[in-house]
Amino acid sequence: MKSLKMAVIGCGNIANYAHLPNVLKTGQKLVATCDIVEEKARQAAEKFKAEKFFTDYREVVELKDLDAVIIATPPDTHREIAVEAIKSNKHVFLEKPLAANLDDAHEIYRYWKKSSVKFAVGFCLRHHGMFKHAKALIENNTVGEPVALWRIAIGTAMGVLPPMGWLTDKKRSGGMVVENTIHMIDAFRWFAGDITSVSAHYKTERKGISIEDNAYIVFTHQNNAFSSVLQSWTATHTYESWGIVGKEGTVSVKGYVIGSMEVSGKGKGLEEVDIKEDPIVMYEKEMEDFVKSILEDKPVFATPLEGLKAMEAAVAAEKSSREGKIVKLPLIDY
């Protein structure tokens, strides 16, 4: 099978943990690395055998001998880089969220919609074993049509305390919900369909930050299912769970991407489902999916439209908290 010539823009934690090694694991050629910190770009190029390294993303997207770019930079830079990549007719894999604000997200969507490039948004939960199994339980009617969905995320994100820096700067990250909770917003939409209204309450408890660090959100979906998120980055210990109550059964997970899964149905007892999967696997699978979409000219697993709708729901949650009322969707014209 033909391999793609790829570049990674942004050589921080997620790039070094997942995207850089996964370019090689999926058999693609790493043409270039790029980071505004030259040493990061250089080190990544040396470690992962890239041909070149850059500090200016424009030099990367203008490379003639390049098929696709992976963008793993802070959200406030996404619009500028993604739009230039589209203009240069490069396929794009963009780490979630689509952008730090709805206007930028909408602009990315508009440019993509007029283009012919493959563009995937990194909603990796769609490739995790437990989330894929939950989706199958909905579709095979073991759980059936969702009625109520939930996510409780107390204390940490992926087992790691959120760092200070750009993540806690509202203009750069978009906030806790936009940057992190959006994973689950996409999963809820994947399970239960489009979101039609949002009610939320935000708080900021830590000093010296400009984002919310506690949030409670209730989404209503098109089939009248409702989903909820309770997330806190100020708790003194960790507790996580998620699940779906459907018309035919229930699936629940004690944990997030690592944990125990239980399933029950009408007339069926409680069953433990053993899906033990290292989180790195979902990143490998999403990269495989992205590459396959290009080589076989197939739809990507999550388009900018999916990214925009998740972003819209996250922005509606902030608006609901700020204005103290339920916010109806859509907020924008597609």
Q: Which residues contact 258 (CB under 8 A, 6 or more apart)?
A: 159, 276, 277, 279
User: Is the same domain home to 115 and 216?
Assistant: no
Structure-token match 């959100």, residue found: 217
The pLDDT of residue 165 is: 84
Residue 290 has pLDDT above 90, yes or no: yes
- Residue 311's closest CA among 173, 117, 210? 173
| 4 touches 28 (CB < 8 A) | yes
**Per-residue pLDDT tens over the stretch 181-233:** 999 999 999 999 999 999 999 999 999 999 999 999 999 999 999 999 999 99
Kind of pairing between the strands at 327-328 and 119-121: unpaired
Q: Is 120 a domain residue?
A: yes
Q: Answer yes or no: do 35 and 73 share one domain.
A: yes
Share of the chain above pLDDT 70, in %: 97
Q: Is the pLDDT of residue 158 over 60?
A: no
Kindly tell me if the per-residue pLDDT of 162 is higher than 90.
no
| Pair 85, 187 in one domain | no
CB 198 within 8 A of CB 313: yes
Q: Which token pair is 102?
A: 């709805």
- Whether 252 shows a pLDDT value over 60: the answer reads yes
Instruction: Tell whether 110 and 172 lie within a shared domain.
Output: no
In a domain, 269, yes or no: yes
In this structure, is residue 166 part of a structural domain? yes
Q: Is residue 119 part of a domain?
A: yes
What whole-number distance in Å separates Cα of residue 93 and Cα of residue 296?
A: 16
The answer to the question of residue 334 being in a domain is no
Q: What is the largest CA-CA distance in the chain?
A: 61
Q: Give yes or no: residues 17 and 97 share one domain.
A: yes
**Same domain, residue pair 237 and 132:** yes
| Residue 267: CATH number of its domain | 3.30.360.10
Yes or no: say if 229 and 151 are a contact pair by the CB < 8 Å rule: yes
Residues 269 and 141 in one domain: yes
Q: What CA–CA distances, in Å, run from 283 to 12, 125, 278?
A: 15, 9, 10
Q: Both 321 and 176 in a single domain? A: yes
- How many domains in the chain? 2
Query: For residue 159, is pLDDT > 60?
Result: no
Residue 333 lies in a domain: no
Report if residue 133 sits inside a domain.
yes
pLDDT at 129 over 90: yes
Both 53 and 115 in one domain: the answer is yes
- Which value, to the nearest 10 degrees, does the dihedral of the CA atoms of residues 249, 260, 280, 282 take? 0
Pair (294, 318) in one structural domain? no
Q: In this predicted structure, what is the pLDDT of residue 267?
A: 84
pLDDT score recorded for residue 160: 54
Contacts of 199 (CB under 8 A, 6+ apart): 217, 218, 320, 325, 326, 327
pLDDT at 264: 98
What are the distances in angstroms from CA 16 to CA 45, 127, 235, 281? 11, 19, 28, 15
Show the domain range for 60: 5-124+283-302
Backbone angles phi, psi at 328, to 5 degrees: -90, 145
Lookup: tokens for 125: 């939960």
Tell me the pLDDT band of 156, cut-offs 50, 70 and 90.
low
- Gyration radius (Cα) of the chain, Å: 20
Mean pLDDT of 157-167: 65
pLDDT digits (tens, 9 = 90+) for 24-38: 999 999 999 999 999
Q: Is 158 left (phi over 0), alpha (psi -120 to 50) or beta?
A: left
Residues 90-106: pLDDT tens digits?
999 999 999 999 999 99
Q: What is the mean pLDDT of residues 230-255?
A: 96
CATH number of the CATH domain containing 59? 3.40.50.720
- pLDDT at residue 304 tops 90: yes
User: 272-283 pLDDT, tens per residue?
Assistant: 999 999 999 999
Q: CA-to-CA distance for 155 and 214, rounded, in angstroms?
A: 10
How many Cβ atoms from other residues are within 10 Å of residue 156's Cβ?
Answer: 17
Is the residue at 18 inside a domain? yes
* Three-state DSSP state, 234: coil
Strands 68-71 and 119-121 come out as: unpaired
Separation between Cα atoms, residue 20 and residue 18, nearest integer Å: 6
Residue 90, pLDDT score: 98
Same domain, 145 and 243: yes
Question: What's the pLDDT tens digit per position in 1-20?
Answer: 589 999 999 999 999 999 99
Q: Looking at the structure, do residues 69 and 168 belong to the same domain, yes or no?
A: no
- Res. 268: pLDDT tops 90: no
Q: What is the pLDDT of residue 244?
A: 99
Beta-bridged to residue 229, according to DSSP, are: 151, 217
